[in-house]
């Protein structure tokens, strides 16, 4: 059979980091994405859709999103199976319990934190699953119950679960434990950045994000279209995102003449797709003035490369000449030498902290307001 696996859409997210107007625009993009997913299911001839939780960002769903969801489900003509996650748990007055009253005949929502099943006789498929009924589910329902007797149907799992740690509060289960149940396909949700299969055979997968929502979700997003039976399981990734977040690094040349032009040319030749949100990290060494100059050219660089959004992150060393500081016998040199192992560390986080520490120290010695550096 062929199914579409998605989840973790977090529709109606607050997007509070982006300001009220942009936030509404982003929520609109979320609805367009939902339409595209249903369209994709139809185009690809999917016989079922599995939504493995966190379809919505919270239990409150806007009227626009609700109306769209209902009409898409009604017109889909295939079973839509949902396992509510930690962000959109099934509870009294939650979106899912309210929508039950609409009696959408092809919508199947798990509503208990005990293991449940839905049987689809025409497809000869049984879908196992459960619901988060609060924001946490300390124990995975699969691990405390005996599976009902086999009825000969193809066994699928649709669930929000965490395979990364047994101590997780989000229905923890290891890949080894999961493999023992013999599901032909386990459609998982919760970990957004894992598009690769979890097991060797590719029968256990996280859906991954369908469209990035921040710089925590880098790259293009999409859904899985899965062909599965007892003998084989093939999943193909279909990109559906109309925008994507990317990050890149530019190491400043020692000659900083025309530096903004050089950066603009560099970013342009990376030819990012339309709708790109880019975080450009500048590294190397530069004086305060050069960094200021680069930052003030942000809008120019963005426009030139046709980006939707650009932010420049300053990771430069505040040095005109590191060698000079190294030999400096004053406090400046002493601080530099002290921080040097961390400044040249391969650990990006450690390096970043050391750079910030050096900037604060040099700024304080110069009698400046250190908060200007932190900003
Ligand atoms: Mn989640």
What mean pLDDT is reported for the chain?
A: 91
Separation between Cα atoms, residue 222 and residue 232, nearest integer Å: 22
Question: Would you place residue 373 in the very low, low, confident or very high pLDDT band (cuts 50, 70, 90)?
Answer: low
Evaluate if residue 240 carries a pLDDT over 90: yes
Q: What is the pLDDT of residue 321?
A: 56
Two tokens, residue 219: 């790259």
The pLDDT confidence band at residue 372, using thresholds 50, 70 and 90, is low
Task: Please state whether 347 falls in left (phi above 0), alpha (psi between -120 and 50) or beta.
Answer: beta
Length of the chain counted residue by residue? 375
Under a CB-based contact definition with an 8 Å cutoff, are residues 151 and 185 in contact? no
What is the per-residue pLDDT across 92-103, written as a single tens digit (0 to 9) for each?
889 999 998 888
Does the pLDDT value for residue 302 go beyond 60? yes
Q: 3-state DSSP call for residue 160?
A: strand
Measured CA to CA, the distance from residue 330 to residue 347 in angstroms comes to 28
Q: Taking every pair of C-alpha atoms in the chain, what is the biggest distance, in angstroms?
A: 82
Q: What domains sit in the chain, N to C, each tagged with a CATH number?
A: 2-239 (3.60.21.10), 244-374 (no CATH)
Confidence grade of residue 322 (pLDDT, cut at 50, 70, 90): low
Q: What is the pTM of this model?
A: 0.83
What six digits make up the tokens of 4? 């579409």
Residue 320 pLDDT > 60: no
* Segment among 46-50, 104-108, 212-216, 230-234 with least mean pLDDT: 212-216
On whether the CB atoms of residues 65 and 30 are closer than 8 A, the answer is yes
What's the gap in Å between 319 CA and the centre of ligand 1? 43
Mean pLDDT, residues 131-149 taken together: 92
Compute, in angstroms, the gap from residue 116 CA to the centroid of ligand 1.
20
Has residue 368 got a pLDDT over 80? no
Query: How many Å lie between the centroid of ligand 1 and the Cα of residue 8?
Result: 7
The mean pLDDT of 160-184, rounded to a whole number, is: 95
Residue 189 Cα to ligand 1 middle (Å): 7
Helices (H) and strands (E) in the chain, counts: 11, 14
Which has the higher per-residue pLDDT, 321 or 32?
32
Ligand 1 centre distance from Cα of residue 191 (Å): 7
By the 8 A CB rule, do 49 and 3 touch?
yes
């Amino acid at each position: 059979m062929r199914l579409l696996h998605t989840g973790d859409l977090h529709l109606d997210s607050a997007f509070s980091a982006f300001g009220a107007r942009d936030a509404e625009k982003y929520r609109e993009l979320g609805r367009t994405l939902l339409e595209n997913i249903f369209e994709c299911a139809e185009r690809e001839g999917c016989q079922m859709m599995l939504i493995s939780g966190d379809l919505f960002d919270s239990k409150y769903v806007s009227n626009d999103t609700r109306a769209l969801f209902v009409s898409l489900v009604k017109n889909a003509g295939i079973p839509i199976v949902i396992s509510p996650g930690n962000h959109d748990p099934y509870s009294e007055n939650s979106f899912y319990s309210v929508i039950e009253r609409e009696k959408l005949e092809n919508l199947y929502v798990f509503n208990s934190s005990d293991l449940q099943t839905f049987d689809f006789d025409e497809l000869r498929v049984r879908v196992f699953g459960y619901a988060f009924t609060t924001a946490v589910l300390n124990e995975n329902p699969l691990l405390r119950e005996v599976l009902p007797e086999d009825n000969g149907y193809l066994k699928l799992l649709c669930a929000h679960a965490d395979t990364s740690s047994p101590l997780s509060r989000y229905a923890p289960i290891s890949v080894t434990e999961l493999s023992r149940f013999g599901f032909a396909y386990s459609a998982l949700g919760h970990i957004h950045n894992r598009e690769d299969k979890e097991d060797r055979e590719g029968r256990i997968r996280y859906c991954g994000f369908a469209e990035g929502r921040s710089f925590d979700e880098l790259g293009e997003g999409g859904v899985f279209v899965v062909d599965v039976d007892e003998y084989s399981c093939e999943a193909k990734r279909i990109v559906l995102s109309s925008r994507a977040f990317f990050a890149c690094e530019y190491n400043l040349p020692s000659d900083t003449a025309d530096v903004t032009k050089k950066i603009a040319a560099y970013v342009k030749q990376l030819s990012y797709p339309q709708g790109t949100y880019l975080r450009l990290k500048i590294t190397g060494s530069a004086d305060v003035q050069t960094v200021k100059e680069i930052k003030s050219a942000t809008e120019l660089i963005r426009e030139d490369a046709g980006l939707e959004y650009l932010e420049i992150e300053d990771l430069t060393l505040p040095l005109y000449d590191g060698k000079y500081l190294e030999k400096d016998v004053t406090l400046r040199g002493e601080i530099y030498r002290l921080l040097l192992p961390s400044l040249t560390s391969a650990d990006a986080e450690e390096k970043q902290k050391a750079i910030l520490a050096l900037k604060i120290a040099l700024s304080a010695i110069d009698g400046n307001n250190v908060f200007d550096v932190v900003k």
